[in-house]
């Protein structure tokens, strides 16, 4: 089995202990739940960024040309799309998140991303663009200069780019135009939705709420929802009731889970993961293939060049067939040439010599491949009853495993039934 060189083992052991063997921890209800009906809304829009320094979309980006022509027409300027240069203009998508209680006039942060083939949006300004919700209605408008988190210098192979230059932000660049706030006073029931569904945690939330109000005002519907009756709670307003409930604390159990990311070599193990007695024998076979190049002479090759000499007038090459003679040049007596045509070694009219040098290779690069196989003795590790994450991590380090080795070992232990946890491979 081939093992890549230089693979980093990122093995994180999260050991959470409230006591000797207690992985529980106390949290606020607001940290593990959300209120049903109180959420953000996604907005998206399309627009133009202008003022670029010849780094915008090319002429082949037809939708940018059409958008610019339409924008100019709204300004009272009629132009033909085929006559527009768009090097300083780029088409972009605008995205934003609308808070649950946003009122008209509230400010939003927007993100601007290039759609076409623009090289950079640095120095650009977004023209006023409408932001639509999932229902197609306009909920906000966006406009303003872009703030970039990167830069680009130089061109072609001599250029350098840091971070992305085709995505920027406009802090407070969005303006809410439509009221989407939720009227909490119409709520008859406040539903708490668990971010990590768990029946035990849902039961403890209901118990904490009932203990706070000294009566049964909360009930568990399923592993992800707990309902609180507003009328039975007796609070003067729903916002105050939600605030009172969200600030209650309780003990939750972290799930026994192991998350493995094979692409990055990251392995995260929960501190409450328990292992049954198991023995691990890990082989250490590595194969390294290396190729080197050396200079070797070509068999039968002569010197680095071959010299050919021809006697002018004879039309004969000592090392080959004759060439046709060329007419003489009376204005250049220093280079006598044939005075008459000669064919296939025929006779010429004047004497002289012509020298030709032809280079021929005498050496070549020869590849030499070496295969080294190392088969070290197998390493073994023993885990006793009740072994925890720390013992597993120390044992894997002791036998010199890599991230890929750990993935295979954990999967094998899980298949054997030695890991009492959920194994998730990303």
Q: Are 345 and 353 in contact (CB under 8 A)?
A: no
In this predicted structure, the answer to whether residue 86 has a pLDDT above a threshold of 50 is yes
User: Is the domain of 345 the same as that of 383?
Assistant: no
297 in a domain, yes or no? no
User: Is the domain of 59 the same as that of 126?
Assistant: yes
Which of 207, 229, 252 is the endpoint of a domain? Answer: 252
Q: Are 267 and 260 in contact (CB under 8 A)?
A: yes
Which of 176, 204, 231 is the endpoint of a domain? Answer: 176
How far is it, in rounded angstroms, from Cα 280 to Cα 313? Answer: 90
Number of structural domains the chain divides into: 4
CATH of the domain at 228: 3.30.1360
388 in a domain, yes or no? yes
299 in a domain, yes or no? no
Note the pLDDT of residue 287.
56
Q: Which structural domain, as residue segments, surrounds residue 98?
A: 41-176
In this predicted structure, the answer to whether residue 296 has a pLDDT above a threshold of 80 is no
Q: What is the per-residue pLDDT across 49-78, written as a single tens digit (0 to 9) for each?
A: 999 988 888 877 888 888 888 888 888 888
Averaged confidence pLDDT in the chain: 76
Q: 9-18, 207-216, 308-317, 320-329: lowest mean pLDDT where?
A: 9-18
119 in a domain, yes or no? yes
9 in a domain, yes or no? no
Which of 315, 341, 359 is the endpoint of a domain? Answer: 359
User: Is the domain of 140 the same as that of 206?
Assistant: no
How far is it, in rounded angstroms, from Cα 301 to Cα 45? Answer: 71
376 in a domain, yes or no? yes
Of the two residues 411 and 126, the one the predictor is more confident about is 126
User: Is the domain of 124 the same as that of 203?
Assistant: no
Q: What is the per-residue pLDDT across 19-44, written as a single tens digit (0 to 9) for each?
A: 334 445 789 999 999 999 888 999 99
User: Is the domain of 89 the same as that of 120?
Assistant: yes
User: Is the domain of 272 the same as that of 397?
Assistant: yes
16 in a domain, yes or no? no
In this predicted structure, the answer to whether residue 335 has a pLDDT above a threshold of 60 is no
Q: Which residue in 279, 257, 294 sits closest to 399, CA to CA?
A: 279
How far is it, in rounded angstroms, from Cα 239 to Cα 183? Answer: 10
User: Is the domain of 193 the same as that of 153?
Assistant: no
Q: What is the per-residue pLDDT across 122-144, written as a single tens digit (0 to 9) for each?
A: 999 999 999 999 999 999 999 99
In this predicted structure, the answer to whether residue 346 has a pLDDT above a threshold of 60 is no
Take residue 406 and report the two structure tokens written for it: 């750990």
User: Is the domain of 51 the same as that of 154?
Assistant: yes
User: Is the domain of 99 the same as that of 194?
Assistant: no
Q: Percent of the chain, pLDDT > 70? A: 68
User: Is the domain of 326 the same as that of 231?
Assistant: no
In this predicted structure, the answer to whether residue 285 has a pLDDT above a threshold of 80 is no
User: Is the domain of 310 the same as that of 170?
Assistant: no
Mean pLDDT of 302-308: 51
Mean pLDDT of 367-389: 66
Note the pLDDT of residue 376.
61
User: Is the domain of 335 the same as that of 237?
Assistant: no
In this predicted structure, the answer to whether residue 274 has a pLDDT above a threshold of 80 is no
296 in a domain, yes or no? no
Of the two residues 87 and 48, the one the predictor is more confident about is 48
């Amino acid at each position: 089995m081939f093992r890549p060189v230089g693979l980093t083992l990122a093995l994180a052991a999260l050991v959470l202990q409230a006591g000797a063997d207690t992985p529980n921890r106390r949290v606020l209800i607001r940290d593990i739940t959300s209120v049903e009906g109180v959420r953000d809304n996604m907005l998206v829009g399309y627009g133009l960024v202008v003022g670029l320094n010849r780094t915008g979309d090319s002429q082949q980006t037809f939708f940018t040309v059409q958008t610019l022509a339409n924008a100019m027409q709204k300004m009272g300027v009629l132009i033909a799309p085929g006559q527009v240069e768009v090097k300083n203009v780029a088409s972009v998508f605008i995205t934003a998140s609308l808070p649950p209680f946003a009122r008209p006039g509230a400010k939003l942060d927007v993100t601007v991303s290039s759609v076409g083939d623009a090289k950079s949006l640095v120095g650009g300004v977004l023209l006023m663009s409408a932001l639509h919700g999932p229902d197609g209605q306009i909920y906000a408008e966006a406009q303003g200069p872009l703030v970039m988190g990167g830069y680009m210098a130089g061109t072609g192979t001599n250029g350098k780019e840091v971070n992305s230059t085709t995505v920027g932000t406009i802090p407070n660049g969005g303006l809410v135009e439509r009221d989407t706030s939720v009227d909490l006073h119409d709520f008859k029931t406040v539903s708490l939705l668990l971010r990590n569904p768990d029946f035990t945690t849902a039961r403890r939330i209901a118990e904490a709420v009932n203990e706070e109000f000294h009566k049964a005002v909360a009930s568990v519907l399923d592993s992800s929802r707990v309902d609180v009756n507003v009328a039975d709670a007796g609070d003067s307003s729903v916002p105050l009731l939600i605030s009172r409930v969200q600030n209650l604390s309780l003990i939750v159990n972290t799930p026994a889970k192991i998350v493995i990311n094979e692409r990055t070599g990251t392995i995260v193990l929960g501190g409450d993961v328990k292992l049954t007695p198991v023995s691990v024998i890990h082989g250490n076979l590595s194969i390294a293939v290396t190729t080197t190049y050396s200079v070797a002479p070509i068999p039968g090759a002569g010197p680095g060049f071959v010299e050919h000499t021809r006697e002018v007038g004879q039309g004969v090459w000592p090392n080959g067939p004759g060439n046709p003679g060329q007419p003489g040049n009376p204005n250049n007596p220093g280079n006598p040439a044939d005075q008459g045509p000669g064919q296939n070694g025929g006779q010429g009219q004047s004497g002289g010599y012509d020298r030709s040098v032809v280079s021929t290779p005498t050496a070549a690069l020869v590849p030499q491949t070496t295969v080294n196989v190392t088969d070290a003795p197998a390493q073994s590790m023993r885990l006793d009853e009740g072994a925890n994450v720390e013992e597993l991590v120390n044992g894997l380090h002791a036998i010199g495993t890599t991230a890929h080795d750990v993935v295979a070992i954990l999967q094998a232990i899980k298949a054997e039934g030695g890991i009492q946890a959920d194994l998730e491979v990303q």
